[in-house]
């Protein structure tokens, strides 16, 4: 369905094609097809957007002795339940809260699902730190990975092709380098402030490669974790994880986190699948409880 | 294009004018022109609002004592210690956070009504600094008073200046802002040199002004 531009002149025959095209423009307008006018903010009735219009998801996790990176980053509404420890964990940053020994529940606005690390779309990311016994120490459950909303690369599409459903975004570039990468160094920031950088805007497709560009920057939710700690990604493709996804759809991440924390047991994964750097693939099963 | 109310009466002539007006009503509706119907909640798909559909901005700050969130009650925010003990002494009011010690603040908020032009041109970035403490700052593309009536700057109980938003330094900083967190600003702020403002500019609140350049 495409948008058709029309003009009508006196004396011409009003054919069925023109009238049909005019009718089809309703769908082209609603679908955001090329050439169709786009709705501006005030075209919406005041208060038209309700909870269900937000593309939101829930995340839930626990921290212990480190800061905790909110899966939704700065797009997260969050609550934290503590165990009496202070709100204090040193220098953290946007989307990272300096708390320890706590449970966190989030609702966040999604940027760019689905996510695929090369083995198929992942419906639910379950990351954990585990003890040598396989018992879970800390846990994070969400449909989006922590690097999607916390890395320097903005992966939220500004335009979605109505036919292919592929997302696109304009990125500020310096040569072939994203401006955001240049600004990650104090030198780059000073160059920018002195007007020494030639910045241009380029529209790029948000591919899986771009979506996962910051995977090594935020590989999991626990910055400052002891490097010797064992961080695992629970097999998202197992039958048990598929059932977990069904539960997530009904109950949200908080209930899953409590369930997994109480009853899950991890073991080395029998199936190889891609994981973030420093994160090991693991299988999991429920203990009787 | 204006919205045109059209009626088609049985037996009347369907003119080119009426057809063109019908066609133009598509654009008039999308553009919310006077008289055009508005999109009601029920006409919208669920989960249609993703991150980029929201008109949001980020704000960064470093403050001690009571800090007014730039986005007020429209703010998602995280706060973290600048090093020492950070005790949240309570939310003191809508849009305010009160702490002992000092903390970094990072917000994302839903914007109300950008851009802001008070008579001298659109202001790209509101960067405040506390007088007598070159560590405390607040940077955002929206003014704090827009979401927090009565607040001339975010630092309740302290004096602060607004750095000349029409200076080259602030103009360039505005281009970087979306990529900067509070800690990035904290690294940069010590390099800013502040001096008495050379040219006055208009603002709707009484706030002290200063010029700024990069050291």
Mean pLDDT, range A167-191, rounded to an integer: 93
For residue B42, the chain A residue with the least C-alpha distance is A48
Give every residue of chain B whose pLDDT is below 50, as ranges: 86, 88-94
> Which position has the token pair 């090093």?
B83
Residues of B in contact with A193 (CB under 8 A): 169, 172-173, 176, 188, 214
Does the pLDDT at position A66 exceed 80?
no
d(CA B10, CA B100): 76
Q: What average pLDDT does range A133-156 have in this prediction?
A: 93
B17: left (phi over 0), alpha (psi -120 to 50) or beta: alpha
Contact between chains at B29 and A36 (C-beta distance less than 8 A): no
pLDDT at A90: 43
pLDDT, position B96:
57
Instruction: Sort out which chain A residues have CB atoms less than 8 A from B14's CB and list them.
Output: 14
Q: Hey, are the CB atoms on A109 and B187 less than 8 Å from each other?
A: no
Q: Which residues contact B31 (CB under 8 A, 6 or more apart)?
A: A37, A40, A43, B1
Q: Quick: pLDDT tens for A252-286.
A: 998 888 888 888 999 999 888 999 999 999 999 98
Largest Cα span, chain A: 85
* Residue B45 distance to chain A (closest CA, Å): 7
Q: How far is A145 from chain B (nearest CA, A)?
A: 15
Q: Which residue in the set A42, A52, A154 is minimally distant from B32, CB to CB?
A: A42
**CA B6 from chain center: how many Å?**
40
A98–B27: do the CB atoms touch at under 8 Å? no
Contact A93 B183 (CB under 8 A): yes
Please give the pLDDT value at position A85.
Answer: 54
List CB contacts (< 8 A) between B41 and chain A. Answer: 45, 47-50, 53
The SS3 call for residue A269 is coil
Nearest CA in chain A to B46: A53
Nearest residue of chain A to residue B180 (CA atoms): A183
Closest CB to B76: pick one of A75, A98, A156: A75
Beta strands in chain A (DSSP E): 56-63, 68-69, 76-81, 96-97, 102-109, 115-116, 121-122, 125-130, 136-142, 159-160, 167-174, 177-178, 199-205, 230-234, 264-268, 280-286
- The verdict on a CB contact (< 8 Å) between A37 and B45 is no
Residue A130 CB neighbour total at 10 angstroms: 23
Nearest to B154 by CA among B175, B182, B177, B179: B182
Q: What is the spatial distance between Cα A108 and Cα A57, in angstroms, rounded to a whole number?
A: 6
β-strand pairing of B192-196 with B87-93: unpaired
Chain B partners of A14 at a C-beta cutoff of 8 Å? Answer: 14, 19
Tell me the C-alpha to C-alpha distance, in Å, between residue B155 and each of A9, B70, B142.
64, 11, 16
Out of A8, A92, A157, closest to residue B52 by CB: A157
Question: Inter-chain contact A91–B168, Cβ cutoff 8 Å?
Answer: no
Contact (CB<8Å) A90/B187: no
Q: CA–CA separation, B207 vs B215, rounded Å?
A: 24
CB nearest A8 (choices: B16, B52, B58): B16
Tell me what pLDDT residue A51 has. Answer: 87
Q: How far apart are the first and last CA of chain B?
A: 51
What is the C-alpha radius of gyration for chain B, rounded to an integer number of angstroms?
23
Those residues with Cβ within 8 angstroms of residue B116's Cβ, 6 or more apart along the chain or in another chain: B122, B123, B142, B143, B146
Cα separation, A9 vs B18, whole angstroms: 10
Cβ-Cβ contacts under 8 Å for B206 (sequence gap 6 or more): B152
Do the Cβ atoms of B27 and A7 come within 8 Å? no
CB contact under 8 A, A89 and B108: no
Q: Which of B48, B106, B168 sits opposite A95 (nearest CB)?
A: B106
Q: How high is the pLDDT of residue A97?
A: 66
Please state the ipTM of this predicted complex: 0.79
Chain B CB contacts of A94 below 8 Å: 58, 60, 78, 106, 181-182
DSSP B131-196: TT-TT-EEEESS-HHHHSTT-SSSBTTS-EEEE-TTSHHHHHHHHHGGG--HHHHHHHGGGEEEEE
Nearest to B30 among A11, A29, A95 (CB): A29
> Among residues of chain A, what percentage have pLDDT more than 70?
91
Q: What is the mean pLDDT of chain A?
A: 88
Please check the confidence at residue A218 and state whether its pLDDT lies above 80: yes
* pLDDT band at residue A91 using 50, 70 and 90 as cut-offs: very low
Q: Which residues of A touch B60 (CB under 8 A)?
A: 94
């Amino acid at each position: 369905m495409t948008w058709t531009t029309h003009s009508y002149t006196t004396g011409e025959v009003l054919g069925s094609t023109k009238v049909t095209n005019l009718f089809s423009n309703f769908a082209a307008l609603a679908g955001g097809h090329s050439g169709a006018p786009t709705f501006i903010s005030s075209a919406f009735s005041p208060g038209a957007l309700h909870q269900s219009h937000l593309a939101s998801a829930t995340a839930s996790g626990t921290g212990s002795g480190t800061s905790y990176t909110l899966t939704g980053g700065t797009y997260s509404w969050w609550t934290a339940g503590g165990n009496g420890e202070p709100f204090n964990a040193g220098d953290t940053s946007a989307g990272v809260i300096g708390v320890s020994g706590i449970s966190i529940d989030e609702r966040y606005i999604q940027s760019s699902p689905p996510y695929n690390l090369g083995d198929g779309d992942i419906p639910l990311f379950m990351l954990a730190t585990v003890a040598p016994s396989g018992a879970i120490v800390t846990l994070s459950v969400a449909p989006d990975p922590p690097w999607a909303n916390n890395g320097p690369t903005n992966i939220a599409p500004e335009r979605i092709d109505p036919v292919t459903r592929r997302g696109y975004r304009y990125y500020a570039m310096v040569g072939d380098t994203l401006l955001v990468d240049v600004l990650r160094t104090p030198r780059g920031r000073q160059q920018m402030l002195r007007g020494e950088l030639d910045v241009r805007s380029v529209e790029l497709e948000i591919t899986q490669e771009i979506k996962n560009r910051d995977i090594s920057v935020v590989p999991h939710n626990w910055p400052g974790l002891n490097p010797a700690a064992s961080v695992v990604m629970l097999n998202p493709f197992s039958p048990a994880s598929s059932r977990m996804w069904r539960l997530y759809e009904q109950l949200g991440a908080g209930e899953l986190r409590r369930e997994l924390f109480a009853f899950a047991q991890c073991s080395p994964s029998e199936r190889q699948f891609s994981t973030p750097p420093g994160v090991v693939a693991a299988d999991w099963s429920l203990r009787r409880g | 294009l204006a919205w045109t109310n059209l009626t088609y009466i049985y037996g009347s002539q369907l003119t080119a004018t009426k057809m063109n007006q019908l066609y133009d009503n598509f654009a008039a509706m999308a553009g919310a022109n006077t008289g055009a119907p508005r999109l009601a909640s029920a006409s919208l798909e669920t989960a249609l609002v993703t991150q980029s559909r929201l008109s949001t901005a980020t704000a960064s700050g470093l403050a001690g004592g009571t800090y007014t969130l730039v986005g007020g009650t429209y703010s998602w925010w995280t706060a973290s210690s600048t090093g020492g003990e950070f005790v949240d002494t309570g939310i003191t009011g809508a849009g305010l956070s009160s702490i002992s010690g000092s903390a970094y603040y990072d917000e994302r908020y839903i914007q109300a009504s950008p851009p802001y032009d008070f008579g001298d041109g659109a202001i790209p970035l509101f960067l405040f600094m506390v007088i007598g403490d070159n560590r405390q700052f607040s940077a955002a593309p929206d003014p704090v008073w827009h979401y927090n009536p009565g607040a001339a700057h975010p630092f309740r109980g302290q004096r602060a200046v607004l750095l000349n938003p029409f200076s080259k330094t602030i103009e360039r900083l505005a281009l970087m802002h979306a990529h900067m967190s509070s800690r990035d600003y904290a690294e940069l702020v010590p390099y800013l040199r502040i001096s008495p403002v050379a040219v006055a500019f208009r603002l709707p609140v009484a706030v002290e002004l200063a010029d700024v350049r990069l050291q």
